[in-house]
Amino acid sequence: MAAQIIDGKAIAQQVREEIRRKVADFTARYGLAPGLATVLVGEDAASISYVTAKNRTCKELGMESFHHPLPAETSQEELLALIERLNRDRRVHGILVQLPLPRHIDEKRVLFSIDPGKDVDGFHPVNVGRLMLGEALFPPCTPAGIQELLIRSGTVIQGADVVVVGRSNIVGKPIAVMLVQKKDGADATVTICHTRTRNLEEHTRRAEILIVAAGRPNAVTGSMIRHGATVIDVGVNRVGTTESGKAKLVGDVEFASASEVAGKITPVPGGVGPMTITMLMRNTLRAAELQVGARA
């Protein structure tokens, strides 16, 4: 039997409605809308499309967005000076610096300079530490979106065998930490696999929940999946263009064979992607509530 598709677009729409109402309440109460500043250095096509989508979603939900596109030659000092200004700007509640940055800029130095109270990506060490402790203010957006998809698709997480393929700081490590917490929507037994894992299939085949963030098309195929498992495909791989000239996207999971075996599966596009942006909006609202609420 073919797997049930987890419709990330529809679930994201539901969550966005909830956020839109809270944004309207916030704006009516405090006389200013939650605001997100986005910073993009250079002209990478994928990064431009992500940042454009983030700004558009802000507007759709009634939030302010302040976009700062900078030339690829921008110096580290100029970028740090901009972040310093945004840290002090009271209309800006969240700051997002789109990654990757050009090679001449020290990514860590930049991310560590963002006020942790405005770090809606959750990449600052203070926020990474809070996540580890189960005290996150801003859970990183892609992992938060994955957790929300699991919860809202009715997947049993408590006690489940979860296997994560990929150990990045943006997805693999934080989702593993989130799902192992002693909390509702977590409480799983988690294994992290990576490029040095011996016999990957041995691990993936026992997963009741399989989260694939390997960054490689077809990293997981049907024969590597346990019958009835929930499969979350985090991959975004651009493989040529569609007939209408848009980038054609595939995930890290070979969808055709995987959907024959899995119980539930996320498509690419339309799975994790829409949830990631939605969680960014949720974090921005939370940042605004913390900053303005604290002053009110």
Stretch that binds ligand GUN, among 14-22, 80-88, 90-98, 261-269 (CB under 6 A): 90-98
Q: In terms of CB distance, is 34 or 94 closer to ligand GUN?
A: 94
One of 22, 118, 119, 121 is an active-site residue; which one?
Answer: 121
In whole angstroms, how close is the CB of 54 to ligand GUN at the nearest point? 9
Taking CB under 6 A as the criterion, the residue among 121, 208, 233, 254 binding ligand GUN is: 121
170 binds ligand GUN (CB under 6 A): yes
Q: Which residue is nearest to ligand GUN (CB)?
A: 99
Q: Is 54 a catalytic residue?
A: yes
- Using CB atoms within 10 Å of the CB of residue 262, give its burial: 0 to 12 exposed, 13 to 18 middle, 19+ buried: buried
Residues in contact with 37: Cβ distance below 8 Å, sequence separation at least 6, in sequence order: 65, 66, 67, 68, 86, 89, 92, 94, 95, 96
192 binds ligand GUN (CB under 6 A): no
Q: Is 98 a catalytic residue?
A: yes
155 binds ligand GUN (CB under 6 A): no
CA–CA distances in Å: residue 49 to residues 43, 262, 294: 10, 31, 34
**Type of residue found at 236:** V
C-alpha span between 154 and 274 (Å, rounded): 18
98 binds ligand GUN (CB under 6 A): yes
175 binds ligand GUN (CB under 6 A): no
Stretch that binds ligand GUN, among 96-104, 127-135, 143-151, 194-202 (CB under 6 A): 96-104
Query: 3-state SS of the chain: helix, strand, coil percent to 5?
Result: 45, 15, 40
Per-residue burial over 76-91, b = 16 or more CB atoms within 10 Å of its CB, e = otherwise: beebeebbeebeeeee
Stretch that binds ligand GUN, among 80-88, 91-99, 149-157, 176-184 (CB under 6 A): 91-99
C-alpha span between 268 and 291 (Å, rounded): 36
Q: Is 4 a catalytic residue?
A: no
For ligand GUN, the binding residues (CB under 6 A) are 96-99, 121, 141-142, 170
Active site residues: 54, 98, 121
